[in-house]
Structure 1
Amino acid sequence: MKNRIILLALLTVPFTAGAESSAAKKPASGEMSAYLTKPDRKLPLFSERYASVPVATVDREVISLRQLGETIATFHEQQKGAGGAKSTDFRPMLDRLIDMRLLVLEARDMELDKIPQVRSAIAAYKDSQLRSLVERRVTAPLKPDAMEVEQAYRDATRQWKIRSVLFVSQADAHAFYGDVKAGKPFAQLAKAALASKKASGQDGAQPVSPKDMLPKVFASVRTLQAGETTEPIQVDGGFAVVHVDGFQYHDDPAARAKAEYDSLDRRQAVELQKYRADLEKRYVKVDLDLLHALDFEAAKPGFEAMKKDGRAVAAIEGEKPITVGDLTVELEAGFFHGMEGPIKEKRVNSHKDEALRVMVTRRLFLKEAKRLGIANSVEYREAVAEFERGQLFGQVAEKAIIPDVKVMEADSKAYYEKHKAEFGYPAFYRLEGLAFSSSKAAQAALKRLQSGTDFKWLRANSDGLIPQDKQQIQLEGTTFSAKALPPELVAALAGVGRGDYRLFEVSGPQYYVVHVLEQTPPKEEPYTAVREAIVKRLFNENLGKAIKEYAAKLRKTHHVEVFITRIGA
């Protein structure tokens, strides 16, 4: 974590290593090109074919076109998320990559790569990356199951087309339901009940999503088929009878993406389980008698003594066996607060089977990585090299730069006075709303709500509602900062309290009735409350400057060449 903070100070954008960096999204302009002097030509910035082409060198350390492209892509994603404009000036990012290489070379000169904790971290990362790449190869051919995706998507986007009436009298509701069960058309009965004023509601079917129904109404409706009717449901204001006319499905790209992700994730998990089971069957022999006999909670020989037990509890063909001692150490790693309590409470033995399974899985996937030659792949070597650079960069910064970085109290207070507005809490509102296509319908709904009509009931029984996917503003019980709301709505919410209703209009036109579920007024934070955040911010700024100054000194003693002149479409 400390290394990552140091990297952020240098790079401004998160510098991810290895496989993680390849996940960075490219900017929308996927045809961006890099103009190079060596070779003297224009190359696609995100082409795998030219990924290893150097854009700069620091002594023998190479910064490739891929590494620069991924850093730019990550930076663009952050700018997009922050609402900033896209920049094509690659030079600050390339300078940061060069500075990092300079500090890595300095770390090697200081022999920081020989520190045990660094070597241990790199060794652990190598094993993790080997196993990860085996898993990736196994699951790479898999695609989401089309039928599974479609079913999950339809479940997520289904809307019930319902008719409903609300009776004040329970007897009237049951009489109405009895007529429906006797075969009389719901629509005809509802029209008569509305005309006689025995019931309130709406003449016609409306599409309603589960989240827009009262929980007890949805519990009754969810199992019904088209043409079926619920028994009377007691709700605020009376007894509702709901009829399902049919179903419809709205377009929701996010729901489809989730269905695809969930399907692929499930298929990958199943495939990896099958793959592991096959490897175990071929290569592993577990001494079940010994495993069952092991008692890690017994006073004799005792947990510490079992760490020295060399008996093989699992033999793996062509590999070192897993001993009782290995299993003991693995179990201990799973209890972060020591073994005395778990042993006394008899909570250790129940974990031994799972601990052995995890160890066997690790060994088997490392064995497969060896068989597949993954350690020789470009992907693996680049990932390990990037991780090692991150470790060494962090070490030299921690030992040679950070000790001299300070934040003075006077500077912290001055920063607070200059940026006081940043540290105030804006007003917060938790809102739900109804969107109408006419001002008249919105005003009628407002009057009904103010007279006590249930909001969810009105959502399901109002004419002139704008479909959710056509609404310009989504107000679904979410909490908003005043800074995130349209100015017209903020103005309409002036002086509101919890439970209030307000009308406002946006261009389109769309007319909203807004219900204030919760409201928190704006508040200024005192210096003492934000001091820690300010000190951290100033420390990172000072650290970034210190790293640049340190790297500038190193440039004088190293040979730096840059082969890229510009990036453009």
Structure 2
Amino acid sequence: MEIRKSLLKGRFLGVVGYLFLLSLPFFMGCATVSHKDNVLAVVDEAPVTEADLAYALQISHRREDLSSAGSLDISPYIEKLIDERLIFDEARRMGLDQLPEVREKAKAYITRESVMRLHDEEVLRKISVTDEDVLKEYAQNYFHFGVIVANSADEAKAIKEKISGGEDFSEAARTYSVHASKEKGGEVAYPRDAIVTPLREALSALKPGDCSDVINVNDKYYLVKLFDNKETDEILNARKKDIAANLKKQRQKEIENSYLKTLREKAPVTINEELLAGIDFAAGKEELEKRAADATPLAEVNAEVITVGDFVSSVSPMKQEMIKTAEDKKRVLDSLIDVKVLDQEALSRHYEMKDLKDEVERYENYLVREAFIRQLMSSRMNITEKQLTDYYAENQKQFTNPPSFKLQQIRVRTREEAEEAMASLKNGADFLWLAKEKLPPSLNEDSISLGWVEKDKLPGSLQKIIDPLKPGDNSPVFESNGYYAIVRLLDKSEGKVKDFESVRETVSRAVFEKQYKEILDGCVADLRGKALITVDDAAVRELEARLQK
């Protein structure tokens, strides 16, 4: 069942793959937004619209920040969109949009997003939970009760005797209970199936107003009193949101199962039972690898094939040992069939031609852009050893360790104490002895010696005064982290350049990024030189003004 659940969840609720778009290059955004397609620029007759910009800038999330700017200039972002449009068009002209890997990924994206649209139409829009439903759920499936917890059986019995003698249960809870609910007089409300069995059984046997005998649960001693659910407005209101959410989850699951059952009933399915019986997940790694590459049809769903390879690959290596019986294998295959019928139904609705059209185009643009850049870089990028060593030599400061200082410190709570300590030092007091004498109670002697500290790790106030000091010098008084301090410089080490081999990876990455940018910028410049580009300045200024309102 777990395998089936995970596969279905991946189809009906698999938004993770879509969310990765948030990390894509500039032109990709967070979601389709409801802006009109005002044309801001035209690139070889192809428009760059306000909706494109909104998608790229995630304006729906950043509008407040943009609007608060003293002066808003979106021209650089439009120029970047123009650059991206030039790359998309050139990549498509080269036929990169027809590469098998691009088509495969685009198809997978369309399938995934279509299933999400299907789920929205056939499941989410049909979920309804009313206040009456919440009240009914609460009355039928929640216990509203008081609870008192004692640390011993004798304490619990003594409390029960007081309640039996007329003491109010709520007052007893406030006075004697060790339960978290004591401040509320022990009053709580929980779903029946969330209550431990001994308490649930005791509550089920009580009438409203009755108090239980002492109940031992893991060496905690309970008394519970059942309240009438009709007198629970405050408790109900506190629980209402959670109850409604749980009901929605239950109904979502019911609708999903019902809808999936309907699809399965109308889908013609054939299974090669003999072939299925011959697949053994305990056959060993080598045999399973062969099976994973096997294109033999195992099942057909609406004339679409599920292969032996599809079946074997759907079970992770960690779960293969769980597939032991014919029923286990049937459940795995059923899950694949469920996925197939959902995909088929979603794709039959052609969302990619309607509300998914813009998103599909943007995703395909991303794919062809990546294919274009891979091809561009593989043909032009050439990083040599000389380029690495030249970059290292030209950027010595980047690879130099900061200067380090060996320090001791005196720390006190007030500036007056610090000035007194400074006067004592000038009169010849020993620094270490004085540091111990002045040490606040909250600190220990280990805090006096700082050892070797790199300059960029020092407090900002100390960084400003440390450089002129020589070994043996004391610093002026400075403030840091709520204390006033004086440091003594014991020794110092000037920054040293790191060995090339120790920073080779960093140098390689920097040279790669530099060359990557140069190649891409040069390519875009060439494309711009061949393109007809116009920017509607009036439309851009109008949009800037509107965003700042």
Normalising to structure 2: TM-score of the pair? 0.53
* Equivalent residue, structure 2, for 1:279: 263
Return the index of the structure with the highest Cα Rg: 2
Deviation at 1:389, TM superposition (A): 0.3
CA distance in 1, matches of 2:130, 2:396: 57
Q: In the alignment, which of 495, 508, 527 is matched to residue 554 of structure 1?
A: 527
1:76-91 matched pairs, under 5 angstroms: 77=61, 89-91=73-75
Q: Paired residue for 2:78? A: 94
Give the whole-Å Cα distance in 2 for the aligned partners of 1:537 and 1:219.
63
C-alpha distance in 2 between matches for 1:374 and 1:333: 29
Work out whether residues 106 and 364 of structure 2, in 8 Å CA contact, stay in contact via their aligned partners in 1: yes
1:211-250 alignment runs, 5 A limit: 227=209, 229=211, 248-249=234-235
* Corresponding position: 1:174 with 2:149: no
CA contact (8 A) 2:377 2:516 kept: no
Q: Aligned in 2, Cα 1:370/1:494: closer, same or farther, shift over 3 Å?
A: same
2:28 corresponds to which of 15, 18, 26: 15
* One-letter amino acid of the counterpart of residue 275, structure 1: Y
Secondary structure of the residue aligned to 1:55 is strand
Q: Which residue of 2 aligns with 1:133?
A: 117
Q: 1:269 to 1:114 in 2, by over 3 A?
A: same
Write the distance in 1 (CA, Å) between the matches of 2:68 and 2:201. 47
Contact residue 276 and residue 329 of structure 2 kept, 8 A? no
Change (3 A) 1:222 1:310: closer
| Cα deviation digits, residues 125-154 of structure 1 (max 9, x gap) | 333344443333323632342259846997
Deviation at 1:278, TM superposition (A): 1.9
Q: Which residue of structure 2 lines up, in the alignment, with residue 65 of structure 1?
A: 50
Distance verdict in 2 for CA 1:291–1:404, change over 3 Å: same
Pairs within 5 Å for 1:3-402 = 10-11=25-26, 15-16=28-29, 21-22=31-32, 46-47=34-35, 50=36, 52-72=37-57, 74-75=58-59, 77=61, 89-139=73-123, 141-147=125-131, 150=134, 171=154, 173-180=156-163, 182=164, 184-186=166-168, 190=172, 205-206=184-185, 227=209, 229=211, 248-249=234-235, 256=241, 263-287=247-271, 289-290=273-274, 293-296=277-280, 304=290, 313-314=299-300, 316=302, 320-322=303-305, 326-335=306-315, 352-369=329-346, 371-375=348-352, 377-400=353-376
CA–CA distance in structure 1, aligned partners of residues 209 and 187 of structure 2: 16
Structure having greater relative contact order (Cα 8 Å, sep ≥ 6): 1
Question: Given that residues 230 and 241 in structure 1 are in contact (C-alpha distance below 8 angstroms), is that contact kept between their aligned partners in structure 2?
Answer: yes
**Match in the other structure for 1:431:** none
Q: Distance in 2 between matches of 1:153 and 1:533?
A: 61
Q: Per-residue CA shift, 1:487-542, capped at 9, x if unaligned?
A: xxxxxx989xxxxxxxxxxxxxxxxxxxxxxxxxxxxxxx99xx999999979986
Partner of residue 463, structure 1: none
**Counterparts of 2:334 and 2:107 in 1: how far apart (Å)?**
22
Residue 57 of structure 1: how far off its partner (Å): 2.8
User: Following the alignment from structure 1 to structure 2, what is the Cα–Cα distance between the partners of residues 266 and 233?
Assistant: 32
Name the SS for the 1:15 alignment partner: coil
TM (normalized to structure 1)?
0.52
Instruction: State how far apart, in whole Å, the 2-side matches of 1:7 and 1:532 are.
Output: 31
Alpha-carbon distance in structure 2 between the residues aligned to 1:219 and 1:165: 14
8 Å Cα contact 2:263-2:341 kept in structure 1:
yes
The structure-2 alpha-carbon separation of the partners of 1:350 and 1:96, relative to structure 1 and needing over 3 Å to count, comes to farther
Structure 2, unaligned runs of 5 or more: 1-15, 403-480, 484-497
Partner residue, 1:429: none
Aligned-pair distance for 1:184? 1.5
Counting matched residue pairs gives: 403
1:161–1:269: structure 2 CA closer, same or farther, 3 Å change rule?
closer
